Structure 1
Amino acid sequence: MNKGIGKGDVKKVVLAYSGGLDTSIILRWLQDTYGCEVVTFTADIGQGEEVEPARKKAEMMGIKEIYIEDLTEEFVRDFVFPMFRANTLYEGVYLLGTSIARPLIAKRLIEIAEETGADAISHGATGKGNDQVRFELTAYALKPDVKVIAPWREWDLNSRASLIAYAEAHQIPVPKDKRGESPYSMDANLLHISYEGKALEDPWTEPDEDMFRLSVAPEAAPDTPEYVEIEFEKGDAVAINGERLTPGALLRRLNALGGKHGCGRVDLVENRFVGMKSRGVYETPGGTLLLAAHRAVESITLDREAMHLRDELMPRYATLIYNGFWFAPEREALQALIDKTQERVTGTARLKLYKGNVIVVGRKAPVSLYSMDHVTFEADEVYDQHDAEGFIKLNALRLRLGRMAG
């Protein structure tokens, strides 16, 4: 039991509930341990699995207040797209697919707690990972007095066998595929799928090909390249090959295109916020296309110094998201700067997809900073090459003085 919360201290708790074995065990454990009423919340953020079965499982376990919501459009519009305006990568490669979903889920947990009069929330994140931090930082930022119950930090069910024994003792159905140890853990949403743990814990071991869900292996991708055009307005993608789509539908289409050509796989060892290194494998096909296209449109529409300033701040911004500080004032301040840089990022990028590669082959914009009159190697009437001499000498002045003085 939580050191600061005893039985009777919690009247009602909102549980982030997937309907799977672990969260079903948590549901019953909350009832038994805290003697409280439980409200379940199941979010559809494009994970590719049916969420309605969670309703039947919750009903079977006596739950009266059940929330099941499709948050895919809000997820992409209000979380994924703002993040991609910064071309955000954590430690150079990770597109933050899991990280960016947690503040949305936690935000809805708090909103539902307010709606139902609950005084606590609960989640199924372990005490070793980043997700516990992301859920709880969001919760405390939005409702400072909320109680948080994290069963994995409290109970003694520390093995698959003990979990199954608990489930059987409390008449919780255990699917056949849950009785053995899973070769890895998986988390999915519309932006990506992550795989970690078990067979992947050895960073020298290559993942099995049959693990992947969103993409084919590059060597199995089509032998003919495919071209795709992505249109942006003020930094956000709005159309693919001329067809305007909602944010959620657009990302879903990009996932299909990228996955077909084996794009978007990443295998990395990352630094967790809690201090340890962790090996993760990610599939982010649509996000990989989106990143390349966005940068291409920025290359002809975004002022050089504005771009460089934003790029200098991006690693800090990525770390804030990774560590769970989406609702922190410093992230919101950075977002305001990032969004300011995007006001003229309107245009279209053309990508060539081939065997795992995303190749930018064209970019255009209605208002472009790219001037052919200035960059041409042919004769021109707008650039006096003699001006470069004084420019170079002024920039060299401190270097020359430094050398002469030393």
Structure 2
Amino acid sequence: MKKIVLGFSGGLDTSYCVKYLSEDKGYEVHSVIVNTGGFTDEELQKIEDHAYSLGVKTHTAVNAVHSYYDSIIRYLVYGNVLKNNTYPLSVSAERLSQALHIAEHAKKLHADAVAHGSTGAGNDQVRFDMIFHIMIPGVEIITPIRDLKLSREAEIAYLKEKGVQMNFEKAVYSINKGLWGTSVGGKETLSSKGVLPEAAWPTQVTASEAREVKLSFTKGELTGVDDKTFTHPVEAIQYLQSIAGPYGIGRDIHVGDTIIGIKGRVGFEAAAPMVILKAHHALEKHVLTKWQQNWKDQLAQFYGNWLHEGQILDPVMRNIEAFLENSQQNVTGEAFVQLLPYRFQIIGIESPYDLMNSRFGKYGEMNTGFTGEDVRGFSKIFGNQVAIHHLVNKQV
């Protein structure tokens, strides 16, 4: 029998894929789930049991949480990346990590084919396909849901006919949870107008009292929250999420351009990512020069857009990552944030590298590094070329 590796979530689409590929197409199915921070141990065990009940030959759970941070998330933090100034790339980033690990698993098993449960309507199909083409060239890519243009009703009827026992009731809202945020889709996000009701958000608002938190950064990475220090930023992110999530912080609806050329809306909640990105940005504004910030902004915007479109393997991404990492040498210090229901504000920062230093003057009040005559001469020279342009053109 030919071996096929299937990216498996345990939902309707991938459950259909197991039965279709094994019983109708004769493949030996090896399922793999890549955990990027969205599953508990109990949930992973239930998914494994379900996979074997469907008839897979082997099932593997890959813990990719730390590697996901190390290879992708930290660069999103370094770049303060928000797609369209709104979205922290919660799902698009984790899909790339998942695709890379699925491809590695297919290599390890010397699989003849690889499969995923994407439909033909979204971004994920492109991200998975493209990475598979690059990482495992020559390995056939099979996508039953997309290729057969299946409706949900058709999938359910097929699985019932095969005697599969599972919950076929579709939740009102589609939720995808990961380390860097949770996406929420429902009827309100299918059109250009509508907001998600309170009940749709996975994390309910239970905190009401204002709270100040201290975020400690070391070379651009979150290493501490309040008086707690962490061995890896993943643990710091998870701890901050447990604090900020109950405030309802980081909720929004992203409107974006998909890879396949249509626009879409999706709700998301990302309390820890949004607080981290804004706190990190505030610290950077104090410790980096204006041209470091200028070039970082330009490169980071490209990096986020190119990552969103699945191009994580483009070598230019390694070049930009090298720049972003180098820019973080002095991004060390504390950022102070006040958390309130549905919002937060940056109170300020403390850093030994703070360039807003009273020894060199106070903006709008006094200076100690130059005289008024220095500024008079500088202003004339700084505007000299534009002055010449205007003088010459008045004579023409």
Q: TM-score, normalised by structure 2?
A: 0.93
The verdict on how the C-alpha distance between 1:362 and 1:329 changes in structure 2, with shifts beyond 3 A counting, is: same
2:83 aligned with 1:94: no
Percent of residue pairs bearing the same amino acid type: 27
Tell me how far apart the structure 2 counterparts of residues 111 and 388 of structure 1 sit (CA, whole Å). Answer: 61
Distance in 2, Cα, partners of 1:362 & 1:345: 14
Indicate the residue corresponding to 1:388 in structure 2: 375
Deviates more, 1:384-393 or 1:162-171: 384-393
Partner of 2:304: 318
Which of these residues, 209, 215, 230, is aligned with residue 198 of structure 2? 209
In structure 2, the partner of 1:164 is 156
Is the 1:214–1:285 Cα contact (8 Å) retained in structure 2? no
CA contact (8 A) 1:18 1:51 kept: no
Shift of the 215–316 alpha-carbon distance from structure 1 to 2, 3 Å rule, reads: farther
Any idea what the Cα deviations from partners look like across 1:257-313, whole Å, max 9, x if unmatched? Answer: 221222101113211111111111110111011001111211222122111111022
With 273-282 and 246-255 compared, the bigger mean Cα shift is at: 246-255
User: How far 1:26 sits from its partner (Å)?
Assistant: 1.0
**Residue of structure 1 in register with 2:178 after alignment:** 189
In structure 1, the partner of 2:335 is 349
Aligned to 2:33: 42
Change (3 A) 1:186 1:337: same
Give the 3-state SS of the residue equivalent to 1:237 in structure 2: strand
Q: Which runs of 4+ in 1 moved over 6 A?
A: none
**Structure 1 range deviating more: 75-84 or 235-244:** 75-84
SS at match of 2:236: helix
What's the CA shift for 1:48? 4.2
Alignment length (residue pairs): 389
What value does the CA root-mean-square deviation take over the aligned residues?
A: 1.9
Question: Map of 1:227-376 to 2, 5 A cutoff?
Answer: 227-245=212-230, 246-376=232-362
1:137: how far off? 2.0
Structure 1 residues 385 and 221 mapped into 2: Cα distance closer, same or farther (>3 Å)?
Answer: farther
- For residue 51 of structure 1, give the secondary structure of its aligned residue in structure 2: helix
Question: Aligned pair in 2 of structure 1 residues 244, 402: CA closer, same or farther (>3 Å)?
Answer: same
Aligned counterpart, 2:48: 55
Partner of 2:12 in structure 1? 21
Mark the runs of 5 or more structure 1 residues left unpaired by the alignment. Answer: 1-7
- Mapped partners of 1:135, 1:375: distance in 2: 54
Find the residue that maps to 2:244 and give its secondary structure. Answer: helix
CA distance in 1, matches of 2:18, 2:328: 44
Report deviation, 1:33: 4.3
TM-superposed deviation, 1:65 = 1.8
Of 74, 78, 93, which aligns to 1:81?
74
User: TM-score, normalized by length of structure 1?
Assistant: 0.91
Structure 1 residue 352: deviation in Å?
0.8
SS of the aligned residue for 1:386 comes to helix
Over 3 Å counting, the alpha-carbon distance change for 1:331 and 1:196 in structure 2 is same
Q: Measure, in 1, the Cα distance between the counterparts of 2:246 and 2:49.
A: 35
Deviations 1:319-357 (A, max 9, x none): 111100111112121111111111221111111111222
